[in-house]
């Protein structure tokens, strides 16, 4: 995070700062202190799944109308900080459609699609069998394009997803919540950046994310909680190796009566990833 001093800057100055010119041509002072506005700027770029880096410039406007006029004249979008703080407070998911779904390990399934009113990606509930809602078995699964779809050997996501379907089909059924939060919430592009760092610099998944400026887990579990409420769930057994998921879903008032662990096979490509999840992220297996 960089904050530009309070000297009056022209639009040309701003363009110079953002144009990629050599560092020696950039002569504006930078402050080290962070403010609420700085934090909001970081929140905004994280929501956009961009690298968590922002340039904050104090333009020294006399009042808000002056700022609006300047933005209007220069084609710059203005956004109130309150809009960001209200973003999660006004988060609402609604069911948009559902259908029967024939899966290889569960022919008696259905998929329910949920969409937010604020433009986020869709989330899905896959109901396996005809389970009783009380104390239902639930798997919270975050989307993984490289693993779930492409079968990447660098993670265990696809294996966990398919194992969850099979386990639920063999039991009394259950729910898989497929939440669109790629790369523990950092987005696919940043996840691929992290992959590159891991491969080129021998970093693990935690250090790679931190190097890019992200927390260890950027996911929010509000979408999962809203879907569970929509389905009438109040108590559940959570199929996971991640204690953090138990803590987060419990915060929304759900009674997690049991944690059911996964036992995944390790290969030469995902061994370090799984070990890192155990030693640095607190996973149980």
Name, in order, each residue with C-beta under 8 angstroms of 177's C-beta and a sequence gap of 6 or more.
Answer: 123, 124, 125, 126, 138, 139, 140, 141, 224, 227, 228
Look up tokens 């970093």; give the residue. Answer: 203
Active-site residue, 217 included: yes
The 10s digit of each residue's pLDDT in 137-153 is 999 999 999 999 999 99
Q: How many residues would you count in the chain?
A: 285
- Hey, is 268 helix, strand or coil? coil
Compute the 3-state secondary structure of the chain and give helix, strand, coil in percent, each to the nearest 5: 40, 20, 40
Q: What is the pLDDT of residue 29?
A: 47
Q: What is the pLDDT of residue 25?
A: 47
- Hey, is 226 helix, strand or coil? helix
Q: Are 240 and 139 in contact (CB under 8 A)?
A: yes
Q: What is the pLDDT of residue 271?
A: 85
Instruction: List the chain domain ranges.
Output: 2-88, 91-181+219-280
Could you say which of 26, 69, 219, 255 is catalytic? 219
Distance CA 51, CA 55 (A): 12
- 103 pairs with which residues across the strands? 106
Could you say which of 217, 229, 255, 280 is catalytic? 217
CATH 3.40.50.300 for domain 91-181+219-280: no
Q: Tell me if the pTM is above 0.85.
A: no
Q: What is the pLDDT of residue 87?
A: 65
Apex 197 CA angle, 191 and 200, nearest 5? 140
Q: What is the pLDDT of residue 203?
A: 85
DSSP strand pairing (136-142 vs 30-31): unpaired
Q: What is the pLDDT of residue 2?
A: 52
Can you list the residues of the chain whose pLDDT is less than 50? 4-8, 18, 20-31
In terms of Cβ atoms closer than 10 Å to its own Cβ (0-12, 13-18, 19+), residue 219 is buried
């Amino acid at each position: 995070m960089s904050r530009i001093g309070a000297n009056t800057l022209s639009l040309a100055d701003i363009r110079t700062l953002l144009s990629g010119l050599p560092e020696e041509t950039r002569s504006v002072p930078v402050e080290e202190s962070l403010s609420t506005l700085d934090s909001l700027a970081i929140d905004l770029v994280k929501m956009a799944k961009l690298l968590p880096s922002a340039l904050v410039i104090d333009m020294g406007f006399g009042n808000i109308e002056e700022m609006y006029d300047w933005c209007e004249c220069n084609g710059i979008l203005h956004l109130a900080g309150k809009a960001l703080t209200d973003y999660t407070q006004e988060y609402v998911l609604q069911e948009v459609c559902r259908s029967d779904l024939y899966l290889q390990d569960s022919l008696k399934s259905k998929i329910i699609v949920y969409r937010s009113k604020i433009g986020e990606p869709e989330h899905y509930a896959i109901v396996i069998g005809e389970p009783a809602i009380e104390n239902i078995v639930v798997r919270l699964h975050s989307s993984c394009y490289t693993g779930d779809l492409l079968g990447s050997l660098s993670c265990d996501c696809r294996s966990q997803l398919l194992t969850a379907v099979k386990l639920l089909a063999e039991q009394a059924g259950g729910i898989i919540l497929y939440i669109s939060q790629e790369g523990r919430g950092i987005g696919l592009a940043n996840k691929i950046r992290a992959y590159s760092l891991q491969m080129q610099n021998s970093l693990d998944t935690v250090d790679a994310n931190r190097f890019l400026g992200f927390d260890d887990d950027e996911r929010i579990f509000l979408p999962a909680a809203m879907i569970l409420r929509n389905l009438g769930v109040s108590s559940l057994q959570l199929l996971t190796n991640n204690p953090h998921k138990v803590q987060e879903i419990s915060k929304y008032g759900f009674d997690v009566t049991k944690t059911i662990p996964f036992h995944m096979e390790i290969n030469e490509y995902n061994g370090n990833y799984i070990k890192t999840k155990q030693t640095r992220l607190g996973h149980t297996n």
